[in-house]
Amino acid sequence: MKKLINEVDNVVTEMLDGMVAAYPQYVKRLPGLEVLVRAGGSEGKVALVSGGGSGHEPAHGGFVGKGMLDGAVAGAVFTSPTPDQVYEAIKAANGGKGVLLVIKNYTGDVMNFEMAADMAADEGIEVDKVIVADDVAVENSTWTTGRRGIAGTIFVHKLAGACAEAGGDLAAVKGVAEKVIANVRSMGMAVDACTVPAAGKPSFDLAEDEIEIGIGIHGEPGTHREKLTTVNEISDKLLEKILAEGIYNSGDEVAVMVNGMGGTPLMELFIANNHIKDVLAAKGIRIYKTLVGNYMTSLDMEGFSITLLKLDDELKPLLDAPADTPAFVQF
């Protein structure tokens, strides 16, 4: 394992302090906790709190700021944060108008955030939650834990965050989050696995000419392996599965996110996007806005995911609303 780290045990705490040092105008760290909240607080608005294991940077701390999140909890690498940490985040982010938890659908995240929500509710804080499950690679049946939450989560932060910033109450903010969740789908792939610092070796092994389709964002293996082909052909496969959902049809307007997994050159993401726009155009689907970059990464994994969000007249202004955070700035 070759990594630019010091002590394996200190990666999360050193990263958080480094983020605060870089962006003191946006975020502050709660003393002794793996929690970032807005530097200026969140008084008088509904607060959005998200989080999960670390290793997905800039998610989630990078999206704390005006128009997006109010608090982000960072667990150990790829490990859900504990209930006490989430509880402290809820308490600190609460601006008196209630707190919405944005949880990615993983067994650990759901359990830890729900326990924290119970603790906060006992203290009289109004807490509600949404669970993001946008990954179409996972079969959505009684035989699985349900679909994973992956890059589509960023759209939930953005649009629900805009609603909260505009003064929406907890029910309205939750309503936007649920509408985004209903209309967002993603799928990813990897050409190479990632290495968790504490594990010291790649999370799965791929031959030189093999790729892994349907990966999550924690180095867990995907649904199956294939021979490496062109990025156009790979994009076709990911889009085919997303479009098979039946949500995105001719005449619809969508936002597109081409998300890097952390170890993929931006050049390759743009090459993918160059083809994605053609595929959607051929289907009569209009692209309203495109995001290309590293939003929800998986350490040093090489690969990418495609996310589509169907828009309407309610969602478009929320997508366009200003945001000012370390990792997402829009005027």
Partner 1 sequence: MSSRIYNCLSAIADVIEENKDFLTDLDREIGDADHGVNMARGFHAVKEKVPQDETDIGAVLKKTGMTLLSTVGGASGPLYGTAYMEAGKVLAGKTELTAEDFSAALQAAIAGIQKRGKAERGEKTMLDALIPACETFTAKTAEGASFTDALEAACAEANKGIEFTKTIRATKGRASYLGDRSIGHQDPGATSATLTLETILKFLKEN
Member of 27, 49, 70, 79 binding partner 1 (CB under 8 A): 79
Asked if 196 interacts with partner 1 (CB under 8 A), we say yes
Asked if 219 interacts with partner 1 (CB under 8 A), we say yes
Member of 199, 206, 279, 292 binding partner 1 (CB under 8 A): 199
Which is nearer to partner 1, 8 or 39 (by Cβ)? 8
User: How many Cα atoms within 13 Å fall on the side-chain side of residue 328?
Assistant: 31
Q: Is 218 tagged catalytic?
A: yes
Which is nearer to partner 1, 142 or 250 (by Cβ)? 142
Options 131-139, 230-238, 242-250, 276-284: segment touching partner 1 (CB under 8 A): 131-139
Options 14-22, 175-183, 192-200, 245-253: segment touching partner 1 (CB under 8 A): 192-200
Site for partner 1 in 88-117 (CB under 8 A): 106-108, 111-112, 115
Do 255 and 290 touch, CB atoms closer than 8 A? yes
User: First-to-last CA distance in the chain?
Assistant: 41
Q: Is 275 tagged catalytic?
A: no
Member of 78, 155, 304, 328 binding partner 1 (CB under 8 A): 78
Q: How far apart are CA 272 and CA 169, in angstroms?
A: 39
Asked if 23 interacts with partner 1 (CB under 8 A), we say no
How far are the Cα atoms of 36, 53, 62, 76, 116 from residue 85, in angstroms, in the given order? 11, 12, 18, 12, 8
Minimum Å gap between C-beta 23 and partner 1 is: 25
Nearest to 310 by CA among 259, 242, 260: 242
Minimum Å gap between C-beta 183 and partner 1 is: 23
Q: Is the peptide bond before 322 cis (omega within 30 degrees of 0)?
A: no
Member of 216, 260, 262, 303 binding partner 1 (CB under 8 A): 216
Minimum Å gap between C-beta 143 and partner 1 is: 5
Asked if 53 interacts with partner 1 (CB under 8 A), we say yes
Q: How far apart are CA 292 and CA 54, in angstroms?
A: 21
Do 148 and 222 touch, CB atoms closer than 8 A? no
Site for partner 1 in 265-324 (CB under 8 A): none
Tell me the one-letter amino acid at 250: S
How far are the Cα atoms of 56, 73, 93, 130, 149 from residue 114, in angstroms, in the given order? 21, 14, 17, 11, 16
SS3 for 169?
Answer: coil
Which residue in this structure is represented by tokens 């945001």? Answer: 323
By the criterion CB under 8 A, which residues form the site for partner 1? 53, 75-85, 106-108, 111-112, 115, 137-139, 142-145, 148, 196, 198-199, 201, 203-204, 216, 218-221, 223-224
Active site residues: 56, 218
